[in-house]
Amino acid sequence: MTTNATATGIDAHDRVEVTVTVNGVPRSSQVQPRRLLSDFLRHDLRLTGTHVGCEHGVCGACTVLLDGAPVRSCLTFAVSVDGHELTTIEGLAAADGGLHPVQQAFRDHHGLQCGFCTPGFVVSACGFLAEHPDPDDEQIREGMAGNLCRCTGYTGILGAVRQAADELRATGDDPRQRTRDGATASGEEVSS
Amino acid sequence: MTTSLLGAPVARSEDPRLLRGEGRFVDDLGHDAFEVAVVRSPHAHARIVDIDLGDALEVDGLISVYTFDDLPERLREPLPLLIPHPSLTAGRTQHVLADGEVNHVGEAVALVVAEDRYAAEDAAERIMVDYDPLPAVVGPERALQADQAVHDDIADNVAAHLEQEIGDARAAIADAAHRLSFRLDIERSASTPMETRGTYARWDADDQRLRLYSSTQAPTSVRAAVAAYLGLDLAQVECIAPDIGGGFGVKIMHPWPEEILVPWVARELGHDVKFTEDRREHFVSANHERAQVHQVEVGFDDEGRVLGLDVEFVHDHGAYIPYGLIVPIITSTQLIGPYKLENYRVTFDSVYTNTTPVTPYRGAGRPQGCFVMERTIDRIAAHLGRDRTEVRAANFLQPEELPYDFGLVFQDGRAYRYDSGDFPGSLSKLKELIDWDGFAARKAAAAAEGRLLGIGLAAYVEGTGVGPYEGGHVLVEPNGSVQVSTGLSSQGQGHQTAFAQIAAEELGVDLADVKVVTGDTRRFPYAVGTFASRAAVMSGNAIHLAARKVREKALRIASEALEVDAEDLELADGKVRVKGSPDTSIDLNVVATMSNPLRYAFDEAARIATQFTQPGDPNAPPVAEGEAPGLEATDYYSPIHSTFANGMHAVEVEVDPDTSDVRIGRYAVVHDCGTLVNPRIVEGQIFGGVAQGVGGALYERMAYDEHGQLQNASFMDFLMPYATEVPRVDVDHLETPSPLNPLGIKGAGEAGVIPGAAAIAAAIEDATGVVIDAMPISPSQLHARRLDAASTT
Amino acid sequence: MKPPAFAYHAPRTTDEALATLGELGDDAKVLAGGQSLVPLLNMRLAAPAALVDLAHLDGLDAIEVSDDRVRVEARVTHERLRRHPAATDAVPLLREALDWVAHPVIRNRGTALGSIVHADPAAELPAVLSLLGGQVELATSGGTRTAAADDYLLGPLESDTRPGELATALVLPRPGVRTGAAFDELSRRHGDYALAGVAVTVTLDADLAVATARAAFIGVGATPVRVDLTDSLSGQAHDALAPADAVGLARDVIEPTDDIHATADYRRHLAGVLLERALTTAAGRAAAGGTA
Ligand SMILES: Cc1cc2nc3c(=O)[nH]c(=O)nc-3n(C[C@H](O)[C@H](O)[C@H](O)COP(=O)(O)OP(=O)(O)OC[C@H]3O[C@@H](n4cnc5c(N)ncnc54)[C@H](O)[C@@H]3O)c2cc1C
Ligand code: FES
Ligand code: FES
């Protein structure tokens, strides 16, 4: 932690150590105060699953969970979240590669094409489902309406969130938790 | 294999990786690369008086700055005019960095290289460019006024004028019982993929080789262009299109200035260099499309049959015309749609304006053409008081008239000839899907509650799968994996899955054993690109043909090994086996091993192919004449002309009588793209296209002011629809296989977007009674139109 | 789109924050949720020399509901406030207005007070503050002051927040009996800033006829435009409002402008339509006990 350093101020071009717990693992790096959380994750921590589509808060591609709630990493400075917990798209599938129920549902419903918006949608959906375990279709539509997708027309995405909601409610799992090994198929099989 | 893989809605093999956040997009690579920022023109039209680097050089982390004057001679030449056309008499293209004059906001003026993008932007901000502003030409009509030239030496602002005619349109109109004439407009929009442009170059000074990653729909052509500009042999350059976050046309444009500058700088500096465009740049420096104004004259009979159609339009191609006349040529031909037109004249002027250049965006001129034709048919129906579906039916080409040659020249310079389709069949499916006949009752019931409902429909025909060619390579490895590659790149169309289905079907192997690579010149150097809904048609068929060759070779080898006639063998379950007695078989991977006569048994499996284990005929060469080692083949597919997909959309809207806000209720699509390789992927393409169509109809426009400033260069103000703005879509398929290619495929990539504006305009018109002749339309505009209409009646 | 460099301060306490702000004066900007400030920085439309971040501060995160008011401190996000039953029961208009603010993910970080300080003329909360006659509490290292909504909201993106000052809380008075409120707006896309919108309160007399009525419009002026509609509506039965005069009055008072999304004329028209709808809803709610 850099409590004292931050309290007394950091010069614009100085670097400061930021430590966060990402997907359960403490990670740190030295950054300028202006470093966006999106760049910190992608380029300092090399967690490139979080994408950047606009850097002005509209597209949602950069969405991550901050202490369990979805936020825009492009509108957040890394220094502001020093000491906090983050979950990114890399923190959802099981260690053995098994897909998270939301991820599996996206696959089952053809909820992605180019895959660029996908991490933002999946993470947003996890945050949404944690708050709305039993959503109706209209709530799902509105809940996903902070993220832009240019490929899918949203059809598969809405269907996927519906499926994931039903499944997660049945298991009672917290949608923001990493999937356990062996919990779902590895996702590599090609089913017809 | 009992069930066919072709036509099966298999889940995509691309997905798990992308879902886990393991995608590899350009900006996911090169964390240690220098990054660039481009100083861009804030003026639509200006001369550059001076560029003062000011205190940019003091910025922490700055590496270097380049302006036009710093470029080597070859890089000072204008960028190529990619598709020359004989009518394009006054073509101009931009420079990689402006040479003394800028012609649109966003044009590249200087290049900054720094340790990261933050520092690069710090320096770019400090560079002072002294501009002498010139009056801006904005909008096609201003261009034609010719009181101000975009390019000094093109006084009339016209790059090209083109005319095509079949029959005698003007005479037919003059003789017709009914005549109408009116104007129809479509505004500018853009592809706007979620991933912006990006290019990352690695120069290997030891090997004297360049590796370029670019977010492009045309990696082979980027490679060739970069080699030419940098004076390298093709053999020294490799270009890879990794995962691409959507293209929709804008990434078929190449080479972008940055695609030349980045590799050049990487070689100059001996360091990796990367360009990641930001969203604001994308709005002004990545190309747009759509803006056209059309003047229509039509003559028709009492049944609404079009006897003569005359369309004159102006195409606004922006500041430069690097992609030639493709978009307006497509409009001028595809406008015809599913109708039998015997007297048709079309002319267009393609004009310069001081705005971002125009190159294809999904649909590429077709949404405009469809808007013109379908609005025309609706006008005819309104004029005659006939049902809009009846007038369409009266004009359809009938299935038995296909193939039908119109006598026009298409965008590929080839005949405009419809190969197959069943338009009356499509219409009846569509009417059922949207319950067209029940609509009058729905409308009346709503009206009783003070609500305004309207219904509209629009039909299109889409030339897809244009040439010249694509290729495919298929290789069975001794471990049983099947490696497939093709040169064109993927932007989310599920090519890995669809191409694997095609190869697996032919080779009788498990889908999971097929690994597909696209858009990597290391794997397949010959290709044209991903555009015009051509990938499935072109590469799909090429891979099919290559796989067929592999299959034949496998049968030959197995037939010798099993001493069974090749005719009696089949490929299934990863084996070559005897038909009717599946226990007599040989594994395909063993065939692969045997196909390559070996000296060294580098592993156990390889033993069977060594010279003492498999001696073969001692009097014949181990590799027979005309054969090559390895179970692999390459083939190409090169059609004589395009194939034509078609479809129809119908939409029901509700207009708020007080606010004029438009809400879409039902949206129905009937679609015929020939054989479906994977219906789930095709449906995904339709859903995505419809969303773009809705965007183009109700939300998205590039709002330039009269000074050529784009006023909505952000996602806050360029209103790409969210999930809340896109309707549920019901889809029905018709499959009339194309006779032109072995798989019977027609392209599906663009179809969903084409009729959106036309159908939605028709529905709004039906709901409000106000003629809709320009799209997109906002509640504010619709309100004004309704007020006008009310005050004139 | 990377922000320019700035010095960074992350005070732990309000006093520390005030001391830092006092020292830096004009050079510093407060960073609250960042949902308006960071886009401006990323586009380099703002370049403060220093940011004083409230993220690491202990405190200033209370929501206090008392008999006569709701007080919301600086670090309370839109979403936390929206889900605070006591606060939204006390001022039902709050919840309806917050439903219109952006998307949930933006609301997770953006602060209610930040949106008032930011003073976007199309933002919902400044209109609520203005309509209900709320106040903003501000502090410097030297002391505190309270500003009434009308004095505080000065113009587009301009509030009376002085150098060295920290806005610490917003205060909304609770509505009286037989008072109903409603918020209605039209935006192009769900979650966008409104083309125009309106918040209204209607108070009924014992006979359930209109006693007072007020509206505050967004998107049609430099600040929220408050209009007293009592004269046009008083005495009308709650279920038979004839709002034409009120609509006419409002359309005269507001000052919409053209932009790429809508003309001034359309906004004027729309504001009237929304007013009519919101008045009907609010009057109904007032009659039903003012609970929604
Ligand atoms: C995509 C998107 C859509 C949006 N849509 C809407 C919408 O529909 N309606 C709406 O109302 N808002 C909308 N917003 C803005 C959002 O509500 C912001 O959260 C809010 O306007 C500002 O709150 P903040 O805490 O994020 O403030 P910040 O961004 O941190 O700050 C904004 C400004 O206020 C100052 N400031 C903030 N807090 C204080 C304080 N306590 N003391 C002194 N100064 C302070 C800052 O210095 C800065 O100048 C949207 C934002 C985005 C990104
Ligand atoms: S990149 Fe953060 S919202 Fe678009
Ligand atoms: S899948 Fe491509 S943007 Fe959503």
Task: Report the CATH number at residue C94.
Answer: 3.30.465.10
Nearest CA to ligand 1 atom 4: C102
Minimum-distance CB partner of A191 among B11, B278, B714: B11
| DSSP secondary structure, C88-136, as one string | HHHSHHHHHHHHHSS-HHHHTTSBHHHHHHHT-TT-HHHHHHHHHT-EE
Distance of CA B712 to the CA centre of its chain: 24
How far the first Cα of chain B sits from its last, in Å, is: 69
- Spell out which residues of chain A touch residue C192, defining contact as CB-CB under 8 Å: none
What's the confidence (pLDDT) of residue C130? 98
pLDDT over threshold 60, residue B381: yes
d(CA B596, CA B631): 8
Show which of C173, C201, C223 is a domain's final residue.
C173
What's the confidence (pLDDT) of residue B536? 83
Searching chain A, which residue's CA lies closest to the CA of residue C48? A12
Ligand 2 centroid vs A42 CA: distance in angstroms?
13
Query: Per residue in B156-171, pLDDT tens?
Result: 999 999 999 999 999 9
Query: Per residue in B313-347, pLDDT tens?
Result: 999 999 999 999 999 999 999 999 999 999 999 99
Query: Per residue in B41-55, pLDDT tens?
Result: 999 999 999 999 989
Is CATH 3.30.365.10 the classification given to domain B468-637? yes
Searching chain A, which residue's CA lies closest to the CA of residue C103? A146
- Spell out which residues of chain C touch residue B724, defining contact as CB-CB under 8 Å: 189-191
Taking CB atoms and a 6 Å cutoff, what residues make up the pocket around ligand 1?
A 57-58; C 29-37, 39, 74, 101-102, 106, 110-111, 113-115, 117-118, 123-125, 161, 166-167, 193
Count Cβ neighbours within 10 Å for each residue of B125-156 and write b for 16 or more, e otherwise: bbbebebeebebbbbbebbbeeeebbbeebee
d(CA B301, CA B343): 14
What is the least distance, in Å, from the CA of B761 to any CA of chain A? Answer: 20
What's the confidence (pLDDT) of residue B611? 79
Query: Per residue in A138-168, pLDDT tens?
Result: 999 999 999 999 999 999 999 999 999 999 9
Positive/negative CA dihedral, B262, B265, B270, B275: negative
Q: Do A153 and B691 touch (CB under 8 A)?
A: yes
Which residues of chain A does CATH 3.10.20.30 include?
A: 16-91
- Spell out which residues of chain C touch residue B778, defining contact as CB-CB under 8 Å: 188, 261-262
Q: Do C1 and B122 touch (CB under 8 A)?
A: no
In this prediction, residues B104-123 reach a mean pLDDT of: 98
**pLDDT tier at B378 (50, 70, 90 boundaries)?**
very high
pLDDT over threshold 90, residue B187: yes
Q: Do A71 and C109 touch (CB under 8 A)?
A: yes
Architecture of domain B362-466+641-792: 2-Layer Sandwich (3.30)
What's the confidence (pLDDT) of residue A186? 43
Task: Return the residue in B274, B362, B722, B750 with the most chain A beta carbons within 10 A, the one to mutate for interface testing.
Answer: B722
CATH of A101-171, one of 1.10.260.40, 1.10.150.120, 1.10.10.370, 3.40.50.11540: 1.10.150.120
Domain boundaries, chain B: 32-134, 362-466+641-792, 468-637
B724 touches chain A (CB under 8 A): yes
Q: Answer yes or no: is C2 within a domain.
A: no
Contact C199, C128 (CB under 8 A): yes
What's the confidence (pLDDT) of residue B601? 81
| Percent share of chain B, pLDDT over 70 | 99
pLDDT over threshold 90, residue B608: no
Most confident among B217-231, B594-608, B669-683 (mean pLDDT)? B217-231
C191 shares a domain with C156? no
Strand pairing partners for C95? none
Query: Per residue in B519-540, pLDDT tens?
Result: 999 999 988 888 777 888 889 9
Query: Per residue in A160-189, pLDDT tens?
Result: 999 999 999 999 999 999 999 887 654 444
Nearest CA to ligand 1 atom 33: C118
d(CA B312, CA B183): 10
Contact A117, A154 (CB under 8 A): no
C47 shares a domain with C71? no
What's the confidence (pLDDT) of residue C180? 97
Cα dihedral B115/B116/B119/B124 (nearest 10): 100
Q: What is the value of pTM for the model shown?
A: 0.96
Minimum-distance CB partner of B661 among C43, C186, C261: C186
**Which residues does chain C have with pLDDT short of 50?**
291-292
Residue A172 has φ and ψ, to the nearest 5°, of 75, 10
Q: Answer yes or no: is C58 within a domain.
A: no
B50 touches chain A (CB under 8 A): no
Q: Answer yes or no: is C69 within a domain.
A: yes
Task: Return the residue in B19, B116, B681 with the most chain A beta carbons within 10 A, the one to mutate for interface testing.
Answer: B19
**CATH code at position C201:** 3.30.390.50
B61 touches chain C (CB under 8 A): no
Q: Tell me what ipTM this predicted complex has.
A: 0.96
What is the least distance, in Å, from the CA of A18 to any CA of chain B? Answer: 18
B278 touches chain C (CB under 8 A): yes
**pLDDT tier at A4 (50, 70, 90 boundaries)?**
very low
Minimum-distance CB partner of A154 among B5, B193, B723: B723
**pLDDT tier at B15 (50, 70, 90 boundaries)?**
very high
Q: Which amino acid, B314? A: V
Distance of CA C67 to the CA centre of its chain: 21
Ligand 3 centroid vs A112 CA: distance in angstroms?
6
What's the confidence (pLDDT) of residue B531? 79
Q: Answer yes or no: is C291 within a domain.
A: no
**Which ligand has the shortest distance to the CA of C109?**
1
In angstroms, the Cα distances linking B143 to B38, B132, B151, B186 are: 28, 21, 11, 16
**pLDDT tier at B3 (50, 70, 90 boundaries)?**
low
Ligand 2 centroid vs B526 CA: distance in angstroms?
37
Whether B15 lines ligand 3, by a CB cut-off of 6 Å, is no
Q: Do C8 and A6 touch (CB under 8 A)?
A: yes
Q: Give the number of A-B residue pairs with CB atoms closer than 8 Å.
A: 203
Instruction: Please give the CATH number for the structural domain made up of A16-91.
Output: 3.10.20.30
Contact A69, A5 (CB under 8 A): no
Tokens representing C191 are 């979650």
The CATH class, in words, for B32-134 is alpha beta
pLDDT over threshold 90, residue B217: yes
Whether B194 lines ligand 3, by a CB cut-off of 6 Å, is yes
Q: Do C42 and A56 touch (CB under 8 A)?
A: yes
d(CA B18, CA B243): 9
Average pLDDT, chain B: 94
Residue of A51, A55, A117, A148 to test ligand 2 pocket, by largest number of atoms within 8 Å of CB: A55
pLDDT over threshold 80, residue A27: yes
In this prediction, residues B288-292 reach a mean pLDDT of: 96
Q: Which of B63-72, B129-138, B514-523 has the lowest mean pLDDT?
A: B514-523
Q: Do A80 and C1 touch (CB under 8 A)?
A: no
What's the confidence (pLDDT) of residue B793? 66
- Spell out which residues of chain A touch residue B686, defining contact as CB-CB under 8 Å: 153
Query: Per residue in B619-677, pLDDT tens?
Result: 888 888 888 999 999 999 998 888 899 999 999 999 999 999 999 999 999 999 888 88
Positive/negative CA dihedral, A124, A126, A127, A129: positive
pLDDT over threshold 60, residue A6: no
Query: Per residue in B48-78, pLDDT tens?
Result: 999 999 899 999 999 999 999 999 999 999 9
Tokens representing B83 are 């598709």
Residue of A113, A155, A157, A161 to test ligand 3 pocket, by largest number of atoms within 8 Å of CB: A113
Ligand 3 centroid vs B21 CA: distance in angstroms?
13
Average pLDDT, chain C: 96
Residue of C35, C99, C161, C166 to test ligand 1 pocket, by largest number of atoms within 8 Å of CB: C35
What is the least distance, in Å, from the CA of C106 to any CA of chain A? Answer: 7
What is the least distance, in Å, from the CA of C1 to any CA of chain B? Answer: 6
Q: Give the number of A-C residue pairs with CB atoms closer than 8 Å.
A: 120
Q: Which domain holds residue C48?
A: 7-53
Count: domains in chain C: 3
- Spell out which residues of chain B touch residue A90, defining contact as CB-CB under 8 Å: 20-22
Positive/negative CA dihedral, C95, C101, C104, C106: negative
Ligand 2 centroid vs C210 CA: distance in angstroms?
46
pLDDT over threshold 60, residue B214: yes
Ligand 1 centroid vs B676 CA: distance in angstroms?
49
- Spell out which residues of chain B touch residue A153, defining contact as CB-CB under 8 Å: 686-692, 726, 729, 752
C153 shares a domain with C78? yes
Query: Per residue in B468-509, pLDDT tens?
Result: 999 999 999 999 999 999 998 888 888 999 999 999 999 999
pLDDT over threshold 60, residue B790: yes
- Looking from the CA of residue A113, the nearest atom of ligand 3 is 1
In this prediction, residues B681-696 reach a mean pLDDT of: 95
